[in-house]
Each structure stands twice: as C-alpha cells, then as structure tokens.
Amino acid sequence: MEQHIHPEPKAFIWKYVFSIDHKVIARQFLWTGLMFLALGGTLAMMIRWQWAYPKTAVPVIGQLFLSQTGGAITPPTYTSIFTMHGLIMIFWAITPILIGAFGNFCIPLMIGARDMAFPKLNMYSFWAFFISAILVILSFTSQLGAASAGWTTYPPLSTNVGAPGWGQTYMALAIFVTGVSTIMGGINYIVTVIRYRAPGMTWFRMPLTVWGLWLTAILNVLFVPVLGSAALLLALDRLAGTHFFVAGAAVGIQGGDPMLFQHLFWIFGHPEVYILILPVWGIVGDILSFFARKPAFWYKGSVFAMIAVTVLSAVVYGHHMYQTGMAPLLGLGFEMLTLAISVPAVVLFVNWLNTIWKGSLRLEVPMLFALGMVFVFGAGGLTGLLLGTISTDIYLHDTMYVVGHFHLTMAAASFLGSFSALYFWFPKMYGKQMDQNMGKVHFWGSVVFITLVFGGQLVAGYSGQHRRLFDPYQYKYIAHLAPLNRWTSYAAFALGITQLIFVVNFIKSILMGKKAEQNPWQVSTLEWTHCASPPVYHNFDIVPTVVRGAHEFADPAVKKKFGRDYLDQVEPGLGAVGEESSDAMPEPEAIGAE
Amino acid sequence: MMFGALFFMYAGMRSHALMWPPPGVPHLPIALPAVNTAVLLASSGAIALGVKALRKGERRALSAWLGVAAALGATFLVLQVVVWRDVWAAGLQPSTGAYGSVFYGLTALHAAHVAAGLLVILLVLVRSLLGKYTEHNVMKVRLPAMFWHFVDAVWVLMFVSLYLL
C-alpha cells in the first residue's frame, strides 16, 4: 500500500504529548505501564506484609497512607488492596507494556510500515487509556476506599449492596474506558498487519512477535467488548438502579442474576489470559532464535499453535466456573476443551526447547529473561492441569494454589517476557545501550525470587490455604503455614527490591547510556537492519522489499561469503541476482544503510 | 460483540425466568415501536441511496439523502423517548426487576449508538454541503453508512426480541 512521508512535527506538544507517531505512543504506554507496575507491585508488597505480619504496621507505606490506623492494614483496606492489585496489574500494567508499548513499537517497524494504519486512532487509544488511569487514581481517593470486590468484580459483592461508595463505580467505568482504548488499539494493529506489510513480507515471513501481537489484537477486538458490556451493566446497576445482577430480597419483582456477570466476565476473562501471554510467546520465540543463533524451530508449527490457542481460548471459559453448579455434562465439555488447549501450548514449548537445542547461546540479558520465561511458563502450565481437571479443581478451587498458578503463567511469564522485550528493544527505542551487568543482576534476582514467591503460594494452596483471607492464621488448620507464608513474603520483598536495580538502570541508561549501534544484537529483522537507533520519524526512507523470513541464522555458506552468521530479511543473499565476485564482500551495514 | 453479549445476557435471563414477562408488569406497546422500526429502516435506506448517488458523482443528491437520514434518525430518537415516557408512566421502571432493567438497559444503549451515529451523520452532512466528498472518496461516507446500517440491524433484533417475542 502507498505510504506517504509526513513532515515531522516540531512543537513539543505535537511531538511528545499528542503525538501520532507510533514510536512516541509506544513510549507513552511504556512509561504509564511501568508506573502502574510499580504501584501494583507496591500493593502486592502490602498484601505480603499482611500475610507475614498480620495486623502490624506496614513500614514506610503504612505511615504515609494508612496513618489513621497507625500504619496497619484493616480488613476493608485489605480487600481494596488485593482488588486494586489485580486490576491494576492486568489492565494498567501488563496490557499497556506488552500490547500498548511493544505492540505499537514493533508492529510497524517489523513489518516495514511507516506508521500504524490509523495514527490518530492510535493517539486516541493512548489518551482514552490515560483517562481510565485517572479513574483508577480517583478510585483510590474516593470515600469508603477503592474498589474492593476482587479483581473479578463479582456481584453481589460489587453491587451497591456489597460495595457502597464511588470506589467500585470508578473502577467499573475505568474498566469500560480502558476497554475502549484497547479496542481502538486492536483494530489499528489488525488493519496495519493486513494492509501495511512491506512488499515481500508474506504472512509466513513475519517475525513471531508480530504474529503474537496480531492474534492478541484479534482476541482484544472480539472479547473486550463483552467485558465492556459487563462493566456497563454493572455501572447501570450501581448508578441507574437497574437490577441486572441484583437478585433476591433487594428486588421486589423477579430480579436479575449475579451468575450472568460471571458468564460475561469469563467469556472475556479466559481469552484475556491469552491476550496477556500471546505477545510474550511471539517475542520469546523470536528472541530464543536470535540469541541461539539458529532458525526458530518449526516456525510454521509455532504460528499454527498460536492460532489454535487463539481459537480454543474462546471456548474454554467455563473452567473458571466449575464450582458454580454447572451441569456436569457442560463441565465435562469445558474440561475436555481446556485440556485440549494444552496441546498447542506444548507444541510451542517443544519448539522453544528445540530452538535452543545445540544452539550457540549468547546469554545476554534479553536471552536470560526469555529463558526465565520459558522456565516459569513451563512450571505454570503444568500446575494448570490440576485446575483444568474438575476432580482436582474441587479441592484446589479458590485456594492459594490458583493464585500461584495464574501468577506463574500470567504474571511471572508476562513479567519476564516484558523485560526480555524491554532489554531487547531498548537500544532501538532510545538509541542507548542498557547496562548489561545490572541487567544480569536484575534477571537473576527476578527469576529466583519470582519462582520462590509463586512456588510458596502453590504449596500454601495445596495445604488448603484459601485465597484472599485477611488473617489466614485465625483458622487452626492453616495456622502452621505462618512460617511458609513469612518466607514467601521475604522472597516477595527481595523481588521488589531487585526491581529497584532495573529502575536505576533504566533511568541511568536513558540519561547517560552508551550510544547504541544500529544492530547491536546482530539480528535479521527490519527494525534492526534498516532503521537507525532510534528510527527516524517515518521509520524507512525507502520501504524495503523483503525476500526471506526473520530467522536466517547459522548457514555456513553465508558465514563464508559475508563473514557473519545471519542474513537480514532484505539482502539478496547467496547466488541471487546481482551477485558480486566472492572477493568483494559487501560491507554488512552498507546493505542496510539508507 | 458488545450487543452480542447483551443479547446473551437477555437470553440467559429469559431462559431462567419462570414467566416472561413476569406477572404484574405492564405490557409494552407494539404500534409505536413498529412505526419507529420503519423510521429507522427508512433512514438506513436514505443513507444507502446517498452513497449510491455519490458513486455517480451526484453531490447534491448526497446532501439531500443525508439530510433525510438525519431527520429520520432524529425522529427515531424522539419517538423512542415517547415510548420510554409511556412505559414509565404505565409503571415499568429500570428498577422493576430484571424485566425493566433489560428493557431500559438495551434500548438505552442502542439509543446511545443512534445518537452517536446521528452526530457523525450531521458532521458528514456539513462536510458534504461544503463539497468535501466526490466519487473518489466514497469510503468516507460509506463507513458512517455502514455503522448506521449496523445500528439499524441491531434495532431490528431488539424490536423482535423485546417487543414481539
């Protein structure tokens, strides 16, 4: 498709604030997401403090925000904390970082487009997200506290009966608004990938990252509206006095049905967990290949596995509702489909292992994080089998085991995957190199402690500890788990402290990092081979013509001819048209340089 | 998908209900909503004719058809408010259990889409009068028209399932 080069805006407000440049919008999403990651992480630390030292004053944070109780967490505060932790991490931390930041940054650059298909829509998407972020902050400041019905926002807890006050209403509205933002972004990604691929960039030459992000966008556009309608109906119940989810004595005439919310929520909610992991699968698939210096093993298999997961994710939501009195036959169907989804997931997993098998691994920071993601995702995936099976789920339902499981897959895997992407694309985003040694310390701290935290939760849950308990030890059968929980909390605090290393590294690198080369990782995709670091406003002076896939590594003939172990996606390569004599080795950069 | 979810919710509620409509709730009128359905369908037809005219390069005809579509859309909203007022006066309110919630919730969300579509059509009308559209950028009129047809199709489903069934 013909793409014009637009002049670059000069005024600060159009260049950095209301920008339509996908690279700037990506950074806006990245910063907002990282801020919320810090906020959600702080809330997590407070939950862990409560479980380590129930009802005692929280150091520092307690003095600042909970002064009325002398710094201790009360039960209502506690419910608000875990509710806001979950919602913030999912909708305002992982989503903007993975999809908002890397989706925006990578898709046009990797497919050879000059910007998104709808640059203005892209800007609206960010600012809608920003409005939802303000609603989240408002929720914290409202009387009677922030939302407190759990991240799932189930009625009747989330109706005016269970959660009076504006905190819950603000969150229902915030979910709706951030949904609008996500849909706008999703439509943009879908159209961009379909219409704006560079000449020769066929579907099966696209990097796995783009595949993951594109499938995510499809899921977003299909299923976020369902969440939007649930949030809207909840808001109507709270504001307009309707009775969609209110039943029983509170309603005179035949009332609504709280179970309906659960259906609507999980029709969205299960695709959502794949929304949060599909981009990571794609990114990790690419990075493992890049740093193992080998082609991605069975690339098409990985692509079809991701497509299969995308399709299946729409029909497994019932496994969140096994314990709601669902008909046994229906439950059995959902069980079968749920276990079926592990097949494509395992295909991906085996492909990753085969990609690194006998590779020349370069253990740089992005690769370390990618390997860490493979490890925690494997552990998380295996623990999920016990929850997908009804008979074992009856025992484990609503225990800390569930918390440990979904944190390993959704939180730990997405978290490590996000950092893998961040360390990998940082030089392209900011034109600076991050400190690799600090990155390595950050990695080892993160992967060890994150495994300990969620591993500890798995053990506690297997021992019967219910999730969301304010003071678990008031129950005799859990009282002996106090030391386990305390040690888990120590690991969580260590994890939190480790992140400070990243904060220092990130800010230091932006301000005074070493200038990055165009292609510091020596990889083959367009953003590294055909764009400066950072790329110019319109990305590509000449839109390149792609001739091969993204993982052309380890060909001995290429090594002999070019003196390097990879071919980029554009250069003619071996024996193609216009081949020079074998003595005149083309300068690697000269091919890509504008 | 959003309206899909809403209809799913409605179907779920209705299939669980012992009696639908529940005993004691006032009957919904049929005549006025039926007229209103015709109004919205006509509006959809008008905008389709407008797009067709623009394809042939008849820019004045486009403006005329857009004006007709906008007027019919506005009529729909006014009649919808009349229906709400009548039903409200007959004793059905949003807080009258699930039945009232479904009736007002679905029609209000649909009306919000009609209002949004109407704003867009008015904007297109202004730009059309300013001569911004030619047979070479039909897409800019086709897209709002597609949205308008979508809103129309949703209304037909709503009319059939809320009032008739």
Residue B24 lies in a domain: no
Residue B116 lies in a domain: yes
Residue A236: closest C-alpha in chain B: B105
CB contact under 8 A, A241 and B95: yes
pLDDT > 70 in chain A, percent: 95
> Chain A residues contacting B, CB < 8 Å?
221-223, 225-226, 228-230, 232-233, 236-237, 240-244, 251-257, 260, 263-264, 267
d(CA B39, CA B150): 15
For residues A147 and A171, is the Cβ–Cβ distance under 8 A?
Answer: yes
Residue corresponding to tokens 């509170």: A250
ipTM of the complex: 0.87
User: Model confidence at A509, in pLDDT bands (50, 70, 90)?
Assistant: very high
Residue B15 lies in a domain: no
CB contact under 8 A, B6 and A229: yes
Q: What is the pLDDT of residue A471?
A: 92
Residue B11: closest C-alpha in chain A: A260
Residue B83 lies in a domain: yes
> What's the Cα-to-Cα distance from A232 to each of A19, A87, A362, B10, B94, rounded to whole Å?
30, 16, 49, 14, 14
For residues B115 and A258, is the Cβ–Cβ distance under 8 A?
Answer: no
Backbone dihedral region for residue B24 (phi beyond 0: left; psi -120 to 50: alpha; all else: beta): left
For residues A105 and A23, is the Cβ–Cβ distance under 8 A?
Answer: yes
Segment among A171-185, A297-311, A444-458, B135-149 with least mean pLDDT: B135-149
> What's the Cα-to-Cα distance from B158 to each of A22, A42, A206, B34, rounded to whole Å?
39, 46, 42, 11
Q: What is the pLDDT of residue A582?
A: 42
Residue B97 lies in a domain: yes
Interface A-B: count of C-beta contacts within 8 A: 88
d(CA B115, CA A412): 44
d(CA B153, CA B113): 12
Q: What is the pLDDT of residue B131?
A: 85
d(CA A306, CA A314): 13
Structure token digits, residue A561:
């001819």
A443 C-beta neighbours (distance < 10 Å), count: 25
Segment among A35-39, A248-252, A264-268, A446-450 with least mean pLDDT: A248-252
| DSSP collapsed to 3 states, A504-557 | HHHHHHHHHCEECCCCCCCCCCHHHHCCCCCCCCCCCCCCCCCCCCCCCECCHH
Q: What is the pLDDT of residue A124?
A: 95
Taking only residues 55 to 94 of chain B, the set having a beta carbon closer than 8 angstroms to any beta carbon of chain A reads: 93-94
Provide, as residue numbers in chain B, all residues whose Cβ is less than 8 Å from the Cβ of A159: none
Q: What is the pLDDT of residue A252?
A: 63
Q: What mean pLDDT is predicted for residues A527-539?
A: 91
> What's the Cα-to-Cα distance from A319 to each of A170, A274, A339, A379, A426, rounded to whole Å?
29, 14, 10, 20, 38
B164 pLDDT higher than 90: no
For residues A322 and A390, is the Cβ–Cβ distance under 8 A?
Answer: yes
Is pTM beyond 0.80? Reply is yes
pLDDT digits (tens, 9 = 90+) for B62-79: 999 999 999 999 999 999
Q: What mean pLDDT is predicted for residues A542-551?
A: 91
A593 pLDDT higher than 60: no
Q: What is the pLDDT of residue A335?
A: 93
d(CA A499, CA A427): 20
Segment among A4-13, A123-132, A292-301, A387-396 with least mean pLDDT: A4-13
Measure the CA dihedral A473/A475/A480/A481, to 10°: -60
CB contact under 8 A, A254 and B1: no
Provide, as residue numbers in chain B, all residues whose Cβ is less than 8 Å from the Cβ of A251: 95, 97-98
Residue B5: closest C-alpha in chain A: A226
pLDDT digits (tens, 9 = 90+) for A234-273: 999 999 888 888 877 666 667 788 888 999 999 999 999 9
DSSP state of A99: I
User: CATH no. for residue B116?
Assistant: 1.20.120.80
Of B5, B9, B22, the CB nearest to A225: B5
Give, in words, the CATH class of A24-266: mainly alpha
Structure token digits, residue B123:
């904007």
d(CA A298, CA A233): 45
In total, how many domains does chain B have?
Answer: 1
Q: What is the pLDDT of residue B23?
A: 76
Average pLDDT, chain A: 91
At residue A358, φ and ψ (nearest 5 deg) are: 60, 20
A564 pLDDT higher than 80: yes
Half-sphere exposure of A57 (CA within 13 A, CB side): 12
Provide, as residue numbers in chain B, all residues whose Cβ is less than 8 Å from the Cβ of A243: 94-98, 100-101
Bridge-partner residues for A514, per DSSP?
A: A433
Q: Which contacts qualify for A335-339: CB closer than 8 Å, 24 or more apart?
A: A335/A388, A335/A389, A335/A390, A337/A312, A338/A388, A339/A385, A339/A388, A339/A389
> What's the Cα-to-Cα distance from A239 to each of A160, A168, A173, A341, B15, rounded to whole Å?
9, 11, 11, 39, 26
Q: Where are the domains of chain A?
A: 24-266, 370-516, 533-594
Which one has a higher pLDDT value, A253 or A592? Answer: A253
Which residue segment(s) compose the domain that B156 sits in? 2-10+30-164
Residue B86 lies in a domain: yes
